[in-house]
Amino acid sequence: MFIIENYLTAVLLCIVTMLCWGSWANTQKLTSSHWRFELFYWDYAIGILISAILFALTLGSVGDEGRSFIPDLNQASQENLFSAFLGGVIFNGANILLVAAISIAGMSVAFPVGIGIALVL
């Protein structure tokens, strides 16, 4: 398992993570304007999934401390793994619908309506 042991390094990586929030929208603006916004998000989400799996199998198995990724995965029950998978599918499905609504109605209309409906449900 890859463990950060230096406090300053951990804080710097947290700052980098905060700077990367919403990076999919910024990278979409850099691509062709002919690629629909919600389709770009779909491809971006699949790319992040593949990257996360590669990082888990490489950095998740580096180092002498802690368990590596595969033993951690084997430790979880099938119900917990299914719940995590289902939560990711629902979250990304909702994001795709929200992005589609933003491309149609704009951020100022779609975001409050979408989040309002989610809070009610």
Say how many C-beta atoms besides its own lie within 10 A of residue 23's C-beta: 11
pLDDT in tens, 14-49: 999 888 887 776 777 777 667 777 778 788 888 888
Name the CA dihedral angle for 14, 91, 36, 115, rounded to a multiple of 10 degrees: -90
Name the burial class of residue 41, with classes exposed (0-12), middle (13-18) and buried (19+) by CB atoms within 10 angstroms of its CB.
buried
pLDDT in tens, 65-93: 777 888 888 999 999 999 999 998 888 88
Contact 3, 67 (CB under 8 A): no
Task: Say what the pTM is.
Answer: 0.68
**Structure tokens that stand for 108 in this block:** 């100022």
**Structure tokens that stand for 17 in this block:** 């993570």
Say how many C-beta atoms besides its own lie within 10 A of residue 8's C-beta: 8
pLDDT grade for 118, boundaries at 50, 70 and 90 = confident
